[in-house]
Chains A and B, each alone.
Chain A
Amino acid sequence: MKRKRATLLLEDGREFPGWSFGYDGPAEGEIVFSTAMVGYPESLTDPSYSGQILCVSFPLVGNYGIPDEQPDEQGLCTRFESERIHVRGLVIADYSEKYSHWDAAKSLGQWLQEQHIPGICGIDTRVLVQLLRDEGAKLGAIVPAGSPAPASFPDPNLENQVAAVSCREVIRYGSGAKRVVLVDCGVKHQIIRCLTARGIEVVRVPWDYDFNTMEWDGLFISNGPGNPALCDVTVEHLRKALAGDKPVFGICMGNQLLSRAAGGHTYKLKYGHRSHNQPVRQCGTDRCFITSQNHGFAVDTATLGPDWEPLFVNMNDGTNEGIRHKTKPFFSAQFHPEASSGPVDTEFLFDEFISKL
Chain B
Amino acid sequence: MLDKTIRKVLLLGSGALKIGEAGEFDYSGSQALKALREEGIETVLVNPNIATVQTSEGIADKIYFLPVTPPFVKKVIEKEKPQGIFLSFGGQTALNCGVELYRSGFLQQNGVRVLGTPVQSIIDTEDRDLFVKRLDEIGVKTIRSHAAATLEEARAAAGEIGYPVILRAAYALGGLGSGFCDTPAELEAAARKAFAFSPQILVEKSLKGWKEIEYEVVRDSYDNCITVCNMENFDPLGIHTGESIVVAPSQTLTNDEFHFLRKKSIDIVRHLGIVGECNVQYAFSPDGEDYRVIEVNARLSRSSALASKATGYPLAFVAAKLGLGYGLFELKNSVTKTTPAFFEPALDYVVCKIPRWDLAKFKGVSREIGSSMKSVGEVMAIGRTFEEAVQKGLRMIGQGANGFVCNKPYKTEDLDWALRHPTDTRIFAIAAAFESGYSVDRIHELTHIDKWFLDKLDNLETTYRELEACPDLGSVGRELFLKAKRQGFSDIQIGRVYHRPEEEVRTRRLALGIRPCIKQIDTLAAEFPAATNYLYLTYNGTKNDIIPSYGSHTVIVLGSGAYRIGSSVEFDWCGVGAVNTLRKRGWQAVMINYNPETVSTDYDSCDRLYFDELSFETVLEICSVERPYGVIVSVGGQIPNNLALPLARSGVHILGTSADDIDRAEDRGKFSSVVDHLGISQPRWQALTTMAEIEHFVDEVGFPVLVRPSYVLSGAAMNVCYSLADLHTFLEMAVEVSEEHPVVISSFIQRSKEFEFDAVADGGRIVAHAISEHIEYAGVHSGDATIQFPPQKLYCVTAAQIRRVAAAIAAELHITGPFNIQFLAHEGRVKVIECNLRASRSFPFVSKILKTDFIDLAVRCMLGEHPAADTVDAFELPYVGIKASQFSFSRLNQADPVLGVDMASTGEVGCIGDNFDEALLEAMLSVGHHIPQGAILISSGNAIQKADLLPACQLLDQKGFTLYATEGTSRYLNENGIPARLVEHANVVELIREHRVDLVVNIPKNFTHGELTNGYRIRRAAIDFNVPLITNSRLATAYIRAFCRLKPEELPVKAWDEYKPL
Q: B451 contacts which chain A residues (CB < 8 A)?
A: 98, 100
Q: Is the CB of B343 within 8 A of A315?
A: yes
**Which residues of A, 133-168, contact B by the 8 Å Cβ criterion?**
133-134
Which of B263, B350, B527, B529 has a CB less than 8 Å from the CB of A59? B350
| Residue B255 is within 8 A (CB to CB) of chain A in the complex | yes
Which residue of B is nearest A277, CB measured? Answer: B344
Q: A277 contacts which chain B residues (CB < 8 A)?
A: 343-346, 524
A60 to B250, CA, bound (A): 11
Which residue of A is nearest B1, CB measured? Answer: A286
Of A179-187, A202-210, A226-234, A342-350, the stretch lying at the interface with chain B is A342-350
Q: A316 contacts which chain B residues (CB < 8 A)?
A: 339-340, 343, 528
Q: A265 contacts which chain B residues (CB < 8 A)?
A: none
Q: Is the CB of B348 within 8 A of A58?
A: yes
| Residue A241 is within 8 A (CB to CB) of chain B in the complex | no
Q: Is the CB of B527 within 8 A of A275?
A: yes
Q: Is the CB of A133 within 8 A of B528?
A: yes
* Known contacts A100-B450, A100-B451; A60/B386 CB under 8 A: yes
B side interface size, CB within 8 A: 54
| Residue A63 is within 8 A (CB to CB) of chain B in the complex | yes
Query: Total A-B pairs in contact (CB under 8 Å)?
Result: 163
A36 to B524, CA, bound (A): 10
A side interface size, CB within 8 A: 52
* Known contacts A98-B455, A124-B543, A126-B519; A37/B346 CB under 8 A: yes
**Which residues of B, 426-455, contact A by the 8 Å Cβ criterion?**
450-452, 455
**Which residues of A, 18-42, contact B by the 8 Å Cβ criterion?**
33, 35-39, 41-42
A125 to B451, CA, bound (A): 26
* Known contacts A286-B327, A315-B343; A60/B258 CB under 8 A: no
Which of A58, A100, A281, A345 has a CB less than 8 Å from the CB of B346? A58
Q: Is the CB of A93 within 8 A of B346?
A: no
A212 to B212, CA, bound (A): 52
Which residue of A is nearest B263, CB measured? Answer: A344
| Residue B670 is within 8 A (CB to CB) of chain A in the complex | no
| Residue B8 is within 8 A (CB to CB) of chain A in the complex | no
Q: Is the CB of A290 within 8 A of B452?
A: no
Question: How far apart are A348's CB and chain B's nearest CB, in angstroms?
Answer: 12
Q: Is the CB of B529 within 8 A of A124?
A: no
Instruction: Label chain B's interface by main secondary structure.
Output: loop
| Residue A288 is within 8 A (CB to CB) of chain B in the complex | yes
Which residue of A is nearest B482, CB measured? Answer: A122
Question: Which interface residue of A35, A281, A342 has the most chain B CB atoms within 10 A?
Answer: A35
Instruction: Label chain A's interface by main secondary structure.
Output: loop
Q: B452 contacts which chain A residues (CB < 8 A)?
A: 63-64, 96, 98-100
| Residue B563 is within 8 A (CB to CB) of chain A in the complex | no
Which of B339, B345, B527 has a CB less than 8 Å from the CB of A133? B527
Q: Is the CB of B255 within 8 A of A39?
A: yes
Q: A35 contacts which chain B residues (CB < 8 A)?
A: 346, 348, 524-527
Q: A127 contacts which chain B residues (CB < 8 A)?
A: 541-543
Q: Is the CB of A60 within 8 A of B255?
A: no
| Residue B262 is within 8 A (CB to CB) of chain A in the complex | yes
A164 to B252, CA, bound (A): 34
Question: How far apart are A163's CB and chain B's nearest CB, in angstroms?
Answer: 29
Q: A288 contacts which chain B residues (CB < 8 A)?
A: 222, 224, 327-329, 342
Which of A41, A101, A315 has a CB less than 8 Å from the CB of B329? A315
Which residue of B is nearest A42, CB measured? Answer: B255
Provide the B257-280 mask, 1 if CB < 8 A to any CB of A, else 0.
Answer: 011001100100000000000000
Question: How far apart are B852's CB and chain A's nearest CB, in angstroms?
Answer: 46
Q: Is the CB of A343 within 8 A of B262?
A: yes
Provide the B525-559 mask, 1 if CB < 8 A to any CB of A, else 0.
Answer: 11111000000000011110100000000000000
Which of B286, B328, B540 has a CB less than 8 Å from the CB of A102? B286
> What is B's interface to A at a CB cutoff of 8 Å?
222-224, 226, 249-255, 258-259, 262-263, 266, 286-288, 327-329, 339-340, 342-350, 384-386, 450-452, 455-456, 517, 519, 524-529, 540-543, 545
List 16 extra interface pairs beyond A38-B254, A127-B542, CB under 8 A.
A35-B346, A37-B249, A39-B255, A57-B346, A60-B350, A67-B254, A93-B385, A101-B252, A126-B541, A127-B543, A130-B526, A133-B527, A275-B525, A286-B329, A288-B327, A343-B262
> What is A's interface to B at a CB cutoff of 8 Å?
16, 33, 35-39, 41-42, 57-60, 63-64, 67, 93-94, 96, 98-103, 124-127, 129-130, 133-134, 275-279, 281, 286-288, 290, 315-316, 339-345
What are 18 A-B pairs at a CB distance below 8 A?
A35-B527, A57-B526, A58-B525, A101-B254, A124-B540, A124-B541, A126-B348, A126-B526, A127-B543, A129-B526, A130-B526, A133-B527, A288-B224, A316-B343, A340-B255, A341-B259, A342-B255, A343-B262
User: Which are the 9 A-B pairs with shortest beta-carbon distances?
Assistant: A39-B255, A100-B452, A35-B346, A341-B255, A35-B525, A98-B455, A277-B344, A100-B451, A129-B526
